[in-house]
Structure 1
């Protein structure tokens, strides 16, 4: 475009931050880096690891009379792993 970058981006409705993120990707990895890709979620800070989740599930099946709160307390007491 013969227009300055800022005006071109405004006409296209593309935020400057997006353009420069694309531009950096292009400089580092070439045109292939600009292909569409699936968004990958970042790590969830409070996700219970699968092995721990399985232990909780087993305890819940074994102690079905417990409320969720009681189950969390029992699991924390017995496994020394805090869940809420």
Structure 2
């Protein structure tokens, strides 16, 4: 398999596409902790992370706020806000997250199961 076949819509600039996911950490004697991260697809730089005790939509929005502040996208006038790529976990399909992203004028792309990259662009220019 050629990389060009897998990554036909590569990002070309920072803050074009942010990827997010939770990492699970079990601390003996303390229990489970969850680490949501926001990673810039172009640079592969982790823009923001937050150690949480839950995996709720609020944890995602809190981490996104940190990413928007760190990147300057909360203060700068930009033509296109970063698109967010996630899996289909409950915190990512929650209505609260959808409302938050709409308020921030950010598109949300969810990958197909077992495929970490979004599918090809639809006719509306939004990946599905």
In which range does the TM-score fall when normalised by the shorter chain?
under 0.3
Please report the TM-score for the alignment, with normalisation by the length of structure 2: 0.18
Ranked by relative contact order (alpha carbons within 8 Å, sequence separation 6 or more), the top structure is 2
Please report the TM-score for the alignment, with normalisation by the length of structure 1: 0.24
More helix by percentage:
1
In our comparison, the structure showing a higher alpha carbon Rg is 1
